[in-house]
A and B are shown apart, each in its own frame.
Chain A
Amino acid sequence: MTTATTTRPVAAVPSAGGPTWALRDAWAVTLRDLGHWRRQPWDLVIGLAFPILLLLMFGYLLGGAIDVPGGYIEFLFPGMLAVTMAFGLESTMTAVSQDVQRGVTDRFRSLPMSRSAVLLGRAVADMLSSTVGLVVLLVAGVAVGWRWHHGAGPALAAVGLLLLLRFAFLWLGIWLGLLFRGQGGVTAVQILVWPFAFLSNAFVPISTMPAWLEAVTAWNPITATIAATRDLFGNPTVAASGWAADHATLLAVVWPVVLVAVFGTLAVRRWQRLGR
């Protein structure tokens, strides 16, 4: 019996060390998610259609009653982009907590693969899907009359800020997904993102809010990204006062960086402590 077990070809498999393997393994994990798109294209389509539906609802159903110089669609659209990026938090959290719950995470952790690849692969897959979602939404925006006015450079910078926001919320999603196992946590987050999105300048100018609410809303990370992207796209902004409003572009970079530093650290630590 022992001879049968010692001649197994397992020793031929290369070791798991090094950054090359981390990247290769992360790509394998990413491909799994891309496989989901191929298998269930309708999930992808519904995911893409949801923000478009919101755009149409706010733009045409509510927008008529909201008077913003320059037109409501032009004002609303950067807000929709940023809110969509922030809502990516839900899909990240759902995917992470499902894998933990179904034992897939344990299976990964029992394989001779790179440890960091699971989180890295999740990050790459979600950034890819959000980039596709962003492009589709931009096309939809153009279709309903939204335009960028300052040329390709600033427009691309705005897209960069939006993806940076997505990246920040991705780590929050991973952390929450590792923290709360089961559907309850996901449902709670799916509800809480709404007040979070509305406590921003996405849908209405914050100068219309009561003073105390305006102060809270001005410091919402989404508000900073929206104000900065409106500037970069050349879309109408409604003047707001205060330090946060004056330094929106700076905050649109600093906020996500701080969020990544905080929640990225928490997520990685949580991941490393799964076996403790």
Chain B
Amino acid sequence: MPVASRPHDHPDTADITDPAGPAVRIRGLTRRYGTTTVLDGLDLDVEPGTVHALLGPNGAGKTTTVRIVATLLEPHGGTAHVAGHDVVRHATEARRRLGLVGQHAAVDEILGGRDNLVLFGRLSHLAARAARRRADELLDRFDLTDAADRPVGTYSGGMRRRLDLAAGLVLDPQVLLLDEPTTGLDPGGRREVWRAVRTLVDAGTAVLLTTQYLEEVDQLASQVSVLSQGRLAARGTPDELKASIGQDRLDVVVRHEADLPAAQAALDAVGTDIETDVATRRVTATVTDRVAALTHVVRTLDDQGVGVDDVVLRRPTLDEAFLHLTGAPPDTAASTGTPGTARTATSAVTEEAAR
């Protein structure tokens, strides 16, 4: 297996990077399946106490990255370190410092929540008593004490995910790998998971997150890496990514469909990229001078006696940023149903509501 040369090439310390450095350190990571390169020289750091989100369409290499860092998959090139430990050469040391919460709730359905946590504690080589104590702590922390002895098969989706998260925390890992942790959860369950993740991050845990929900990125992540075909397409804070695609958007919703041409004309005078969604009677434009554009549109439509239901001046959504950066929507499940402008409009509403 090819191993890239690294700065600390000393016989004893070659696999230990600076402990004060990033909790996850990925350099030149490459992975192929057959002849397809799914990961092509990725560099990435996750700092302690932060969430770094991986975004990208299906097959962009998100899950492959997580699986390599979790020691489940060997890289074909490059390196990954967890808390300074090489995931290939010192896999066990890396495993002792990472927790994995995958796409499925990887817990035993027949056993109870407590038995599951004790099992994973024992397999993490905690002594019997320590494993039981840790299980009780985690059950308490994730509000599962009442259900501790019920078979996991009877848990709700949200409870199961919380147990799954707890199972990833048995050794109080420095690095938590979350591979689509809220896929399939209802909004309530999703918020439960977000709250738990925030608490962990506040306590210093580094989180590498893949998700299909852009709202999740807005809620949790301080850094976002957008992957496209195994390469980094863009990186920054969620706000930076939104800003990178440029100007603000002005949405106008008219009361009567017949007034759509009037709204289009008004927006055309101050903005570009006019999009019209007949179903929601919404016209959207990209504007540069926020105040002038808003004033012009409101005054013009008012003068013409056009009934207006809503006017929204907003930053582009992550959905729009994502489309702009990769030319593809994120995984199909992320779209809120309808393609094109309608989807964008819906995300805008969710985004507003979340604030």
B-contacting residues of A (Cβ < 8 Å)? Answer: 1-2, 4-6, 8-10, 13-17, 21, 25, 28-29, 31-32, 35-36, 39-40, 101-104, 106-113, 117, 274-276
CA distance A28 to B108 in the complex (A): 13
Give the residue among B83, B105, B122, B206 with the most A Cβ atoms within 10 A.
B122
Contact of A110 (CB < 8 Å), options: B48, B100, B122, B172? B100
Q: Tell me how far the C-beta of A231 lies from the nearest C-beta in chain B, rounded to whole angstroms.
A: 41
Return chain B residues, CB-CB under 8 Å to A275. 71-74
A275 vs B33: C-alpha distance in the bound complex, in angstroms? 12
Q: How many residues on B have C-beta within 8 angstroms of the other chain's C-beta atoms?
A: 48
A103/B103 in contact, CB under 8 A: yes
Known A110-B98, A275-B73; further 15 A-B contacts with Cβ < 8 A: A2-B48, A4-B48, A5-B206, A10-B97, A13-B124, A13-B126, A14-B125, A15-B92, A32-B111, A35-B108, A104-B107, A106-B100, A107-B107, A107-B167, A117-B123
Provide the B116-132 mask, 1 if CB < 8 A to any CB of A, else 0: 00011011111000000
Cβ-Cβ contact count across A and B, 8 Å cutoff: 119
Out of B100, B106, B206, name the residue touching A102 (CB < 8 Å).
B106
**Minimum Cβ distance to chain B for residue A7 (Å):** 9
Residue B204 lies at the interface, judged by CB distance under 8 Å to chain A: yes
Complex: A39 Cα to B103 Cα, angstroms: 26
B19 at the interface (CB under 8 A from A): yes
Beta-carbon contact of B72 and A8 below 8 Å: no
Give A101 to B105 CA distance when docked, in angstroms. 11
A28 contacts B123, CB within 8 Å? yes
Taking a contact as CB atoms closer than 8 A, the residue among B19, B95, B105, B206 that contacts A112 in the complex is: B95
Q: Which residues from A are CB-within-8-Å of B125?
A: 13-16, 21, 112-113
Chain A neighbourhood of B23, CB < 8 A: 5
Chain A residues within an 8 Å CB radius of B174: 5, 8, 10
B111→A35 contact, CB < 8 A? yes
Chain B residues closer than 8 Å to A1, beta-carbon distance: 47-49, 204
Query: CB distance A8 to B167 under 8 Å?
Result: no
* B203 contacts A4, C-beta separation under 8 Å: yes
Q: Report A-chain residues with C-beta under 8 Å of the C-beta of B104.
A: 101-103
The answer to whether B115 has its CB under 8 Å from any CB of chain A is yes
User: Is B56 close to A, CB under 8 A?
Assistant: no
Tell me the minimal C-beta distance from A195 to chain B in angstroms: 32
Q: Nearest residue in B to A105 (C-beta to C-beta)? A: B106
